Structure 1
Amino acid sequence: MRVSATGRRLNDPKGGSFWFDAGAVCLDFAHTGGEGPYAVFESLHEPADLAAWLATPPLSVVVTVPASARDLTLAKTLRQAIWVTAHARADGQPLPPDAVTTINQAAAEAPLQPALSADGAAALWAPPVRTTQALSSLAREMIDLLSGPLADRIRECASDNCPLVFVDSSRPNARRWCAMERCGNRHKLRALRARRA
């Protein structure tokens, strides 16, 4: 997968936003919304929202075949599978078989194919570019993550009430928070107040 950087700005339904770098594009994708209590964070309401998310760097996938309602359903199913497998790995639990099946099925589709521009100055995605190809590439990245050397570095934010999950790629293997500007600072403030009390 052609990726130069990861991370996205996440919006809180109560107001405000913060930069969150999950360390992998597939994990960034897992944080675009969710089921149950996480439905309030949903950002993929229609196929155009999915196409817009894919078109944003680092993927920069501009689909040449418009995303459909079926594509959106497949994307949300894959997103949930990535979410639950990442949390299972972070918790040291077995991966849910149905989520593994979903990831494998998405990965079995043809992935994005890189192509060199005519002048040789840029890498593009070879047309036609379909949403299912982007989903396949995300699923393949998740497979590489879960089965690779960083699998044991998939973590949940250390905050008591933050479900965000990320890959700790720091050299000292010491990342604890989704973002210092959010949960890290909140923890520091609570600790300061506790010391003063």
Structure 2
Amino acid sequence: MDNEVLAFRFTATVTDRAGRTPRERLTDPARLKMWLGATGLDVADVSPSDLGRAVELREAVYRVGSALAAGEPPESEDVHTLNTFAAAGHAKAVLEHEGAGWHLTETTPVADALGVLATDAIRILGGPDRSRIKNCEGPGCSGLFLDTSRGANRRWCSMNTCGNKVKKSRLNAR
């Protein structure tokens, strides 16, 4: 994964946001379960209402990140959403043989997983590097990323996808 920020990887479950037809990748609860599992937030089951709450959180993260990238203050409703999801989670960080992970409760595992995502978003969106949050300049993308380059001049969420597309199109134009 090119994006080191978990919450920003979550916002990438919608692709081509700036294109004509954004593409939703969390099309059903099973897809959310699969995405959470791939990030180490394994849950046994995801309901349609869990999916709805996940999409609500994802879009709030995206709107807050995009506002900060544009140098604007985020909407208070979106900030409230992030804080509410973070407070609802009861996940505990654990050190396992493979490295760091998360222990989710048996009673509210999806809320716990969404709490981890919201907490990660708050850490980045409210942290000292918040001025380095950017939207990708790739054609149709507009995905969020944290620019950790020395000169703060990174333009794409991923050099392997968006950056490569731009470079290929420039080459073909010649």
* Counterpart residue number, 2:61: 82
Q: Determine helix, strand or coil for the equivalent of 2:14.
A: coil
**By how many angstroms is 1:189 displaced?**
4.6
Q: State the one-letter code of the partner of 1:151.
A: R
Q: Percent identity?
A: 33
Bigger Rg, structure 1 or 2: 1
Contact 1:153–1:167 (8 Å) recurs in 2: yes
* Counterpart residue number, 1:63: 43
Aligned mates of 1:32, 1:38 — CA distance in 2: 16
1:54 and 1:193, CA in 2 relative to 1: closer, same or farther beyond 3 A? closer
Contact 2:91–2:102 (8 Å) recurs in 1: no
* Counterpart residue number, 1:182: 161
TM-score (norm 2): 0.83
* Counterpart residue number, 1:27: 8
**By how many angstroms is 1:143 displaced?**
0.8
Aligned mates of 1:164, 1:62 — CA distance in 2: 25
**By how many angstroms is 1:180 displaced?**
2.4
TM-score (norm 1): 0.74
* Counterpart residue number, 2:134: 155
1:133 and 1:159, CA in 2 relative to 1: closer, same or farther beyond 3 A? same
What RMSD in Å do the two structures reach over aligned CA positions?
Answer: 2.7
**By how many angstroms is 1:141 displaced?**
0.9
Contact 2:88–2:115 (8 Å) recurs in 1: yes
CA deviations over 1:97-118 (Å, ceiling 9, x no partner):
211111111011133113456x
Aligned mates of 2:12, 2:147 — CA distance in 1: 16
1:169 to 2:148 alignment: yes
Stretches of structure 1 that go unaligned for 5 or more consecutive residues are 1-6, 8-20
1:73 to 2:52 alignment: yes
Q: Report 1 or 2 for greater relative contact order, CA contacts < 8 Å, sequence distance ≥ 6.
A: 2
Aligned mates of 1:146, 1:36 — CA distance in 2: 21
Aligned mates of 1:36, 1:160 — CA distance in 2: 8
1:193 and 1:97, CA in 2 relative to 1: closer, same or farther beyond 3 A? same
Contact 1:33–1:39 (8 Å) recurs in 2: no
Q: State the one-letter code of the partner of 1:43.
A: R
Aligned mates of 2:11, 2:172 — CA distance in 1: 34
1:134 to 2:116 alignment: no
Aligned mates of 2:171, 2:20 — CA distance in 1: 30
* Counterpart residue number, 1:125: 103
- Most deviating of 39-48 and 21-30: 39-48
Q: State the one-letter code of the partner of 2:103.
A: W
